[in-house]
Structure 1
Amino acid sequence: MQTGADSVRCFNPIFEEASNVVRERFPDTSTLWLARVDCDQHSDIASAISDQQISTLKLFRNGMMMKREYRGQRSVVAIADFIRQQQVHPIKELQSLEEVNTVDRSKRNIIGYFETKDSDNYHTFEKVANILRDDCTFLAAFGAVSESERIGGDNVIYKPVGENVPDMIYLGSLTNFDLTYVWSQDKCVPLVREITFENGEELTEEGIPFLILFHVKEDTESLEQFQQEVARQLISEKGSINFLHADCDKFRHPLLHIQKTPADCPVIAIDSFRHMYVFSDFKDLSIPGKIKQFVLDLHSGKLHREFHHGPDPTDSTPGQPEDTGEEVASSPPESSFQKLAPSETRYTILNRDRDEL
């Protein structure tokens, strides 16, 4: 996509040449299309795809727009190589069931057992794997290799992260793409995701606030408690706020913004992309409804209002002083993670000093 005369003039010939290179490598136009939209002339399409006012490359699979856009170098070679990588088949075929015991359990694995590749069940599995290939490892076994796992017919299982975590079986119809995709996405994309400098930009681009647990990397106990309480209290808020966890040492600067240091971790905060708000105390996480009220107070504007004008007359906000009857005006810390959002210089990202986050 492109908008603005300068952006069009600079990128048009590069994209055109990259398209020619790709067409030579992959002449089958039934499986790969490269399209160009002038956002100045087609603003309706542009606004539905991206709110950025610069040329943007988006990837679509099976009619669905992928969250991860192309962020690499703007050159013919780099773009053509990216498309070549996307053409690599997303499923690894297992030659024996013994290979299942050697899968990397630090990653999320989805394994399908099919009688044949030429089946509607496997074609659905392929579509799902194509869309979620960046979030899960997909494997498949066929025929005699998979026979012992197909007692009740074709079968798909999910192997979660961790050596001693039990497998989960897909119980829906494998011919139903929507059901298979929703189940797989739920397994491949965790409710609480880790934010890093590598994925921070794409998470920010999703455009919804962050609820972040800052914790020491080795402190898995607080992370597990946070994950449990998010699942218990905040599952209904999924889609209106991103649940994340961050390494205290790597994200020292956002902690300083809220007057905290790694020594204070674990710390929970909301970044609304305007301001940052601190949850009262990590120990309060297990109090029924406490963390949910914190999130609801963000949506209602109460956190912002009370930071600027002091506590509401009738109650106090989690993380804020008790109501003393006096109006205490203050200003919440500015958003720190907003700096990770795509900018006019997004494609010179290697020159950006991320230590200034």
Structure 2
Amino acid sequence: TRHVMGLSTPGQAEIVSLDSNNIDDVLSKTCRFSQMLHPIFEEASNIVREEFPDTKQVVFARVDCDQHSDIAQRYRITKYPTLKLFRNGMMMKREYRGQRSVTAIADFIRQQQVDPVKELPSVEEINSVDRSKRNIVGFFENKDSDNYRTFQKVANILRDDCTFLAAFGEVSRSERFSGDNVVYKPMGEGIPDMVYLGSLTNFDLTYAWAQDKCVPLVREITFENGEELTEEGIPFLILFHLKEDTESLEKFQHEVARQLIGEKGSINFLHADCDKFRHPLLHIQKTPADCPVIAIDSFRHMYVFPDFKDLNVPGKLKQFVLDLHSGKLHREFHHGPDPTDSTPGQETGGEAASSPPESSFQKLAPSETRYTILSRDRDEL
């Protein structure tokens, strides 16, 4: 089996074998899907090399994960072939999931070469940015500066999560009262801008600030991004709500931020459209008429938060998540409520007749051993 990796870092554009002495042997043993991809990947690399002969901005490379299991583990590769994009030595969260064709791969690289920063030509345009998107706006004295180079690097990495805009020279002068300046303009009207107060020459600091603004704590799950979210490998805490019910979403966002900020990294906070995700709701004996509904999908089972109204009870949502981690949700489903201090002699109930509903969202994940792009039937979920 072989892991294929697309790298977007400075260097000559070509297929690079990371173990040139045994490449023929590797290719003869590789899995069928990797064998099928190899000539496509190679031809795409040749096209890209022709289009970017001087810039030396793209490297195509491959890794044999049988030979180099340490590399596979480092980048959590479990299916083959996988295509990952790197920028400035940093692995991008989103792997390549487009068509496995020469045209599609070459187009993807062309898109990556497009500057993600849009220049604002006038003061008027600064004041009329699209507030239906997350915008990060930089105000710079000139383009040829370390400050702007840092901004461009950050924009390249977060280009799918935020819109990046920049103004220069005379156009940006009124915003540069204390030097070059970067602000975040959140979605929605009347919400104040947030100013970056760190050093613009410090990439790590600038990136951490921008990522915090561009990637919301509670993300929407869709059929398009479900596979990607599943591959992060941590359970889901999901609010199912009707699309027009923004009030429930705001309450959920508020309580997640208040009660569960410390759980970031151990559970994914998501919201889903009740109508689109009817089948996961059916798994937990709910319909869109029951929404809003909060549930955990552990990738083995689904568990329902008893009552949405309890969201406001201090610590209740946090305890629900802690009960997942401790195994209590699974245990109580089978055996009934755990004994409590108020009922010291209480025995646990008998074995429940059924297990908790199976995970619905695990079905969005690809095969554990190989990567294929399937046109999933939404009804199956």
TM-score tier, shorter chain, comes to: over 0.9
Give the 3-state SS of the residue equivalent to 1:245 in structure 2.
strand
Change (3 A) 1:97 1:325: same
- Pair 1:349 & 2:352 matched: no
* 2:7 aligned partner: none
Superposed CA deviations along residues 255-310 of structure 1, whole A, max 9, x for unmatched, are 00000011111000000000000001000011111000100111111111221222
- One-letter code aligned to 1:21: I
- State TM-score, norm by structure 2: 0.88
The match for 2:175 among 149, 154, 157 is 149
The match for 1:333 among 357, 360, 363 is 357
| In structure 2, C-alpha distance between the alignment counterparts of 1:349 and 1:38, rounded to whole Å | 24
Change (3 A) 1:307 1:4: farther
Superposed CA deviations along residues 44-89 of structure 1, whole A, max 9, x for unmatched, are 1112223322101001112211111111111111100110011100
- Identity score, percent: 79
Unmatched runs of 5 consecutive residues or more in structure 1: 317-322
> Conserved in 2, the CA contact under 8 Å of 1:73 and 1:347?
no
| In structure 2, C-alpha distance between the alignment counterparts of 1:340 and 1:141, rounded to whole Å | 41
Give the 3-state SS of the residue equivalent to 1:348 in structure 2.
coil
Q: Which consecutive aligned stretches of 4+ in structure 1 deviate over 6 angstroms post-superposition?
A: none
Structure 1 position 354, deviation (Å)? 2.2
Structure 1 position 164, deviation (Å)? 1.6
Q: Write the mapping of 1:270-281 to structure 2, written as runs, cut at 5 A.
A: 270-281=296-307
- One-letter code aligned to 2:108: F
> Conserved in 1, the CA contact under 8 Å of 2:85 and 2:92?
yes
- Pair 1:14 & 2:40 matched: yes
> Conserved in 1, the CA contact under 8 Å of 2:80 and 2:370?
no
The match for 1:186 among 212, 227, 230 is 212
In terms of mean alpha carbon deviation, does 262-271 or 101-110 score higher?
A: 101-110
- One-letter code aligned to 2:373: T
Give the 3-state SS of the residue equivalent to 2:184 in structure 1.
strand
- One-letter code aligned to 1:272: S
- One-letter code aligned to 2:359: S
Unmatched runs of 5 consecutive residues or more in structure 2: 5-28
| In structure 2, C-alpha distance between the alignment counterparts of 1:354 and 1:137, rounded to whole Å | 30
| In structure 1, C-alpha distance between the alignment counterparts of 2:54 and 2:310, rounded to whole Å | 58
| In structure 2, C-alpha distance between the alignment counterparts of 1:50 and 1:354, rounded to whole Å | 27
> Conserved in 1, the CA contact under 8 Å of 2:79 and 2:370?
no
Q: Write the mapping of 1:1-357 to structure 2, written as runs, cut at 5 A.
A: 1-2=3-4, 4-28=30-54, 30-314=56-340, 326-329=349-352, 330-343=354-367, 346-350=371-375, 352-357=376-381
| In structure 2, C-alpha distance between the alignment counterparts of 1:191 and 1:298, rounded to whole Å | 20
| In structure 2, C-alpha distance between the alignment counterparts of 1:37 and 1:67, rounded to whole Å | 18
> Conserved in 1, the CA contact under 8 Å of 2:220 and 2:270?
yes
| In structure 1, C-alpha distance between the alignment counterparts of 2:78 and 2:91, rounded to whole Å | 15
| In structure 2, C-alpha distance between the alignment counterparts of 1:236 and 1:315, rounded to whole Å | 28
- State TM-score, norm by structure 1: 0.94
> Conserved in 1, the CA contact under 8 Å of 2:239 and 2:252?
yes
Give the 3-state SS of the residue equivalent to 1:158 in structure 2.
strand
| In structure 1, C-alpha distance between the alignment counterparts of 2:43 and 2:65, rounded to whole Å | 20
| In structure 2, C-alpha distance between the alignment counterparts of 1:245 and 1:144, rounded to whole Å | 43
> Conserved in 1, the CA contact under 8 Å of 2:237 and 2:294?
yes
